[in-house]
A and B are shown apart, each in its own frame.
Chain A
Amino acid sequence: MSEHILEVRDLEVSFTAHGQTVTPVDGVSLSVTRGEALGIAGESGSGKSLTLKSIIGLLPPNATVVGDLRYALDDEEPIPYAPADVHGHGISIIFQEPMTALNPTMRVGDLIAEGPRIHHGLDKKAARVKAVDLMRQVGIPTPERRARMWPHQLSGGLRQRVMIAAALSTEPSLLLCDEPTTALDVSIQDQILGLLQELRGSLGMSVVFVSHDLAVLGELCDRLAIMYGGRIVETGPVDEVFADPQHPYTEALMTSVPSFDATAEQLRGIDGRPPDPRAFPPGCRFAPRCQYARDECRSAVHELRDVSAGRTTACIYPELIQGVKR
């Protein structure tokens, strides 16, 4: 049985509108080993969310997708798959904004019951019982009563838990998380992360967690992939990447994360703005904002190279990085 549950090679997502073509995801390759939690970090517009949606095939209709996506459907070798194959059979997703992600005209209990009814052929009553179980499992108090309520009658945290319950209703082996905690305030955020951590453990589920918040990724994920300008620029185990970033953008990200003991001058934002997908700079797309940038960087061909076991970077001068003074 291959140790990878998901393999993505040279994924490209492009849109054409008014005669112009834009490619916000420009050649992404990654893989997820069984039971692993992979974090994808990056600023908005880096293509991280589109990458996630390509995996489960929920891109808007005017998007065109190119690339080799393989998934271990029934615990065998990862094989190419069509979106419909995985919907409800293995991959689930939870979104950032719970208010818009739940059908406003359907009771939460009924929504969670959809999965069991479709995939396990349970009748209405049995599916409802299963839904209440799932709601209890995700920590929703008095699930019987809450099942009959409408999304707009629940708090943000509870709605997110309903989202998770719905995702789990199809017993997925891979859960994709598209910044599920960003819209919640910090205290609720921790509860949800705790819940995800616990579910990972109890269900042995693999997770791909997309966020712009490194702290959140650090808490939940085993491995990290940093995305910039529609490409992965660095990957590696979380603590190694935090301790010894191999790409100037990762280093810059680290220094811009406020932590209690960091002093004011250590905090440096990154000057310039994230690249506009319509006009990516040539060569290394971080070069215009990179403090170590050299001429070769502006013409370098993008390629993820191994730096050490399980560590890759797209930077051609990783050795120049002084590392984080912490």
Chain B
Amino acid sequence: MGRFGFVAKRLLQTIPMLFGIVLIVFLVLQITPGDPARQIVGLRASEAELQEVREELGLDDPVLVQYVRYVGNVLQGDLGYSYKSRKPVSEIIGERIDVTLWLMGSGILLTVLISVPLGVIGALRKDRAADHVIRGLGLVGLSMPPFWTGVILLLLVAIPTGWFPAGGFGETFPDKVRSIFLPALTLAIASSPFIIRGLRASIISVMESEYISTARSIGVAGGRLVRRFVLRNSAGPAITLLAIEMGYLLFGAVVIETTFALPGLGQGLVLAARGRDLPSVQGYTLLFALAVVVVYLVSDIVTAILDPRVEIEA
């Protein structure tokens, strides 16, 4: 039962957290501007008509009453209706989820494909030319504002060469891959430096440990040593770093989706906030929070699986 108990315990922990987040969002959005009634009825409507709509939607009820009603609905999977389009928020968000999943998925994949090799090389060739070059590039990548990187990639790569679309999200699988490559690369450039540095540090400390000498003494070398001895022990910290990085990636998604006109959750959030569509904003916020919680949960479980010393096994 050890394993599932651990996962169950973690899941139970997230529930109060999500309630907390929804409450904060609710309170926070109450003091934001943008009278929802005006958004629904129209900019030229008279006060009487606005008041009528406020009563109809219960906007004048005390905040806590609205919160309880909102949570009640959310538990039944009803995220409310967008003020403007009267479309269910779950549908609006549903249309956008796969774009952001594609962006985050390929962003992480690229980050891994870039970080693991460079992290291993940086560690194995410690303080030699390759190591310094990698760390130098890392420092530069770290300090480049993502949207700036995105625009430069568009202008110097996408438009002159035409290999990638200048934005938007493709329909067929190959189009999707082509349209998601540069945004994912932008994400990877922003997050790889941290993963490389973390992985390099943990590999170095693993290489200096005695069980590596033991392994070497019995003839384990090369790829087998790296795979079965080095990476498995340095994976834990690296995965945790990836989880932290993904927390930032979600904010990055807002910026990068805007830069590349990707109709994902990030741009959806920007447009919903701009249009003061509160139910949509609440829906996006809940989803972002859920995503961050799930990301940490998965990384936590994977790290626990990888490291036998963690108690869940007992």
Contact = CB atoms under 8 A, between A and B. Distances in A.
A118 B308 contact: no
Interface stretch (A98-106, A269-277, A284-292, A308-316): A98-106
Is chain A's binding surface mostly helix, strand, loop or mixed?
Answer: mixed
Given A105-B233, A150-B308, A114 B215 contact: yes
A88 interface: yes
A34 interface: no
A95 B216 contact: no
B210 interface: yes
A95 B233 CA distance: 20
Nearest to B217: A93
Given A103-B229, A104-B308, A93 B213 contact: yes
Contact of A170 (B218, B221, B233): B218
Contacts of B219: 87-89, 114-115, 118-119, 170
Contact of A97 (B210, B215, B221, B307): B210
A56 B217 contact: yes
Interface in A58-84: 58, 60-61, 83-84
Given A95-B213, A100-B211, A103-B215, A114 B220 contact: yes
Candidate in A83, A91, A102, A111 with the most chain B CB atoms within 10 angstroms? A111
Interface of A: 53, 56, 58, 60-61, 83-84, 87-89, 91-93, 95, 97, 100-106, 111, 114-115, 118-119, 150, 152, 163, 166-167, 169-170
Given A97-B210, A150-B309, A167 B220 contact: no
Contacts of A169: 218
A105 B221 contact: no
Interface of B: 126, 208-211, 213-221, 224, 228-229, 232-233, 306-309
Contacts of A60: 208
A102 B214 contact: yes
Contact of A105 (B217, B218, B307): B307
Candidate in B209, B218, B221, B224 with the most chain A CB atoms within 10 angstroms? B218
Contacts of B307: 104-105
6 contacts: A88-B218, A88-B220, A91-B217, A101-B210, A104-B307, A118-B218
A101 B255 CA distance: 47
| 6 shortest interchain CB distances as A-B pairs | A88-B219, A150-B308, A58-B213, A103-B211, A100-B210, A87-B219
B229 A167 contact: no
Contacts of A102: 211, 214
Given A56-B217, A115-B218, 14 more contacts: A53-B213, A95-B210, A95-B213, A95-B214, A102-B211, A103-B228, A103-B233, A105-B233, A111-B214, A114-B218, A114-B219, A114-B220, A167-B218, A169-B218
